Amino acid sequence: MEILHVSAECYPVAKAGGLGDVVGALPKYQNLLGHVAKVVMPMYRTKFLYTNDWEVVHKGGSSLGYSWFEYTVIKEKNNKLGFDLYLIDINGLLDREKVYGYDDDTERFTSFQIAVVDWLAQWQHKPDVVHVHDHHTGLIPFMMQHCYAYHHLKNIPSVITIHNAQYQGWMGWDKAHYIPTWDGWKWGQLDWQDAINPLASGIKCAWKVTTVSRSYLDELKYMSNGLEDLFEFEKGKCSGILNGIDTAVWDPQTDSYLDNHYTVATAAAGKLANKEILCKQFNLAIDKPLIVFIGRLVGEKAADLLPQAIGDSLYYIGQKMNFLVLGSGEPAVEQQLESMRGSLMGYYNSQIGYNEKLSHHMYAGADFLLMPSRVEPCGLNQMYAMRYGTVPIVRRTGGLRDTVKDIGEINGYGVCFNNAAVGEITNAIYRAVTLYEDAKKMQAITEQLMNLDFSWETSAQQYIEVYQSLR
Ligand code: ADP
């Protein structure tokens, strides 16, 4: 089958979170299964653009409301990522360093989607499926079906995957003219609660909807930032497919970011060597369990609870453990995590910002990874941690529920708790410290974790089955 993935992110070209990891890996694994998967994304000004070779494959133009824009499609020449990669350049809108966070994101991603559909309309042949990801590409199924200029695309099946339903791309009806002339009777396919809602439109118009874990799909029916009724109504075409991890990139035996590689057999020494580097760099004690947090410092990740949970743990359990936090996000949380460094020196440290290399070091060198998330559609961090023999401490929600089994259960290998509350996090940390003190059990769990299989093979095949059901 030929699959065209459309996404705002794709690792290593541009990544802001898990979406980038997924779109950087899934197409590669679909190709390994004998299909032809391609990716098209915006041409941001990132390092990958300047360090690879490109050819121009198409030039075109379209309008965004009353203004005309020209776009160029370029293709990476050497199949660096294991799939055909196309970037769309639109001067003045997409030629930026960051993926998101600009005042004109609505204009940026609407014009990107128009350019994708306009380009697709010129293809000599058609792909078997167009697979869009999250709200930034959620208007594409609508455009393929209801824009007069693109009517001949309406029989191409489309699938939308929801990586995060908290963000929906809302835009006012005053921007309806941005979308190329469309059948006005179909306004209901764009609308949700009196606004144009690209995510809701994607759910309504795509032929199938997938979420990145089964538990997340169940949760969306009662907690999806206003879309609960829509998920209930459309449940017949929804399914949950757990993300995999790219085991070629995330491998403690070969990871190019690590100074000390290790296998299951050498995990004890390998992890300790990586921990030593971290402890030196961040002034922490090597003989205490190292508990880390990596991620966006936002409410969804319950990052606001970290300062008190860390403080309470050190106070009530005793100074038996160390903490290291890597992340960026809400300024108030960043500030709190920075200001705690002084009073908790020697037990706690943090680095505010995005640092891919440090994150790999932390997955490898830590003893535990804490994820108290309020919402976690799938979560990749816990799977990376487990691949590196690091025990996850997670709240039972979304993909965390589907991937981590508590040590209290038969063959369990993680520490789980039910509520995103300081008391429950502190209690989970207490259980983790107790586990750490049982060296034999800790080693057995490390081995068990590293032997778990979170690779993409199974999930990539499940997506193919979804596409095949549409033929
Ligand atoms: P989300 O997409 O909701 O942020 P995921 O768990 O799906 O969460 O994916 C997060 C990805 O982003 C992981 O690869 C994680 O290592 C990475 N990441 C998040 N924050 C940082 C950071 N500050 N520095 C380096 N990597 C980070």
Amino acid sitting at position 264: V
Interval between CA 152 and ligand 1 midpoint (Å): 39
Contact 49, 4 (CB under 8 A): no
Give tens-digit pLDDT for 134-150: 999 999 999 999 999 99
Nearest CA owner, ligand 1 atom 22: 354
Q: Which helix (H) or strand (E) holds 150?
A: none
- Residue 157's φ and ψ, nearest 5 degrees, are -65, 145
Q: Which helix (H) or strand (E) holds 4?
A: strand 2-6
Domain with CATH 3.40.50.2000 in the chain: 2-244+456-468, 267-450
Q: What is the mean pLDDT of residues 218-243?
A: 97
Interval between CA 381 and ligand 1 midpoint (Å): 7
Mutate to test the pocket of ligand 1, among 9, 15, 19, 21 (most ligand atoms within 8 A of CB): 21
Token look-up 């809400």 returns 330
Interval between CA 187 and ligand 1 midpoint (Å): 36
Interval between CA 243 and ligand 1 midpoint (Å): 14
290 vs 132: CA distance, rounded Å: 39
172: which residues sit within 8 A by CB, 6+ positions away? Answer: 195, 196
182: which residues sit within 8 A by CB, 6+ positions away? Answer: 142, 143, 146, 147, 148
Query: Residue 12 pLDDT more than 90?
Result: yes
Query: Residue 242 pLDDT more than 90?
Result: yes
175 vs 171: CA distance, rounded Å: 7
Give tens-digit pLDDT for 331-346: 999 999 999 999 999 9
Give the confidence band of 98 by pLDDT, cuts at 50, 70, 90: very high
Mutate to test the pocket of ligand 1, among 134, 297, 354, 386 (most ligand atoms within 8 A of CB): 354
CATH homologous superfamily of 267-450:
Glycogen Phosphorylase B; (3.40.50.2000)
Look up residue 310 and give its DSSP letter.
Answer: H
Interval between CA 326 and ligand 1 midpoint (Å): 10
Query: Residue 386 pLDDT more than 90?
Result: yes
402: which residues sit within 8 A by CB, 6+ positions away? Answer: 213, 214, 215, 242, 378
CA triple 452-454-457, angle to 5 deg = 125
CA 45 to each of CA 84, 121, 265: distance values in angstroms, whole numbers, following the listed order: 19, 26, 42
User: Coil, helix or strand for 276?
Assistant: helix
Contact 391, 274 (CB under 8 A): no
Interval between CA 352 and ligand 1 midpoint (Å): 13
Percent of the chain topping pLDDT 70: 100
Mutate to test the pocket of ligand 1, among 22, 247, 381 (most ligand atoms within 8 A of CB): 381
Give the pLDDT score at 265: 97
Give tens-digit pLDDT for 13-70: 999 989 999 999 999 999 999 999 999 999 999 999 999 999 999 999 999 999 999 9
Give the confidence band of 297 by pLDDT, cuts at 50, 70, 90: very high
Nearest CA owner, ligand 1 atom 18: 295
Token look-up 């995957």 returns 161
Nearest CA owner, ligand 1 atom 19: 295
Give tens-digit pLDDT for 403-424: 999 999 999 999 999 999 999 9
Take residue 317 and report the two structure tokens written for it: 């359990």
Q: Give the position, in ligand 1's atom list, of the atom nearest the Cα of 328.
A: 23
Q: Give the position, in ligand 1's atom list, of the atom nearest the Cα of 379.
A: 6
CA triple 118-121-127, angle to 5 deg = 120
Give the pLDDT score at 468: 97
Give tens-digit pLDDT for 175-205: 999 999 999 999 999 999 999 999 999 999 9
Q: Where are the alpha helices (DSSP H) in 73-104?
A: none
Amino acid sitting at position 326: L
CB atoms within 10 A of CB 310: 27
Contact 325, 359 (CB under 8 A): no
Q: Give the position, in ligand 1's atom list, of the atom nearest the Cα of 380.
A: 6
Sign of CA pseudo-dihedral 365, 366, 372, 376: positive
Question: Model's pTM, two decimal places?
Answer: 0.93
Take residue 413 and report the two structure tokens written for it: 């290998």
Residue ranges around ligand 1 (CB below 6 Å): 17-19, 21, 294-296, 326-328, 354-356, 359, 378-381
What average pLDDT is seen over the chain? 97
Choose which CATH entry (2.60.40.2310, 3.90.550.10, 3.60.130.10, 3.40.50.2000) describes domain 2-244+456-468: 3.40.50.2000
Query: Residue 367 pLDDT more than 90?
Result: yes
Q: Give the position, in ligand 1's atom list, of the atom nearest the Cα of 19.
A: 2
Interval between CA 16 and ligand 1 midpoint (Å): 7
Strand 208-211 with 158-162, pairing: parallel
Interval between CA 372 and ligand 1 midpoint (Å): 14
Query: Residue 255 pLDDT more than 90?
Result: yes
Q: Give the position, in ligand 1's atom list, of the atom nearest the Cα of 22.
A: 7
Give the pLDDT score at 471: 85
433 vs 170: CA distance, rounded Å: 44
Give tens-digit pLDDT for 427-446: 999 999 999 999 999 999 99
Q: Give the position, in ligand 1's atom list, of the atom nearest the Cα of 212.
A: 7
Strand spans (E) along 126-207: 129-133, 158-162, 191-192, 195-196
Give the confidence band of 259 by pLDDT, cuts at 50, 70, 90: very high
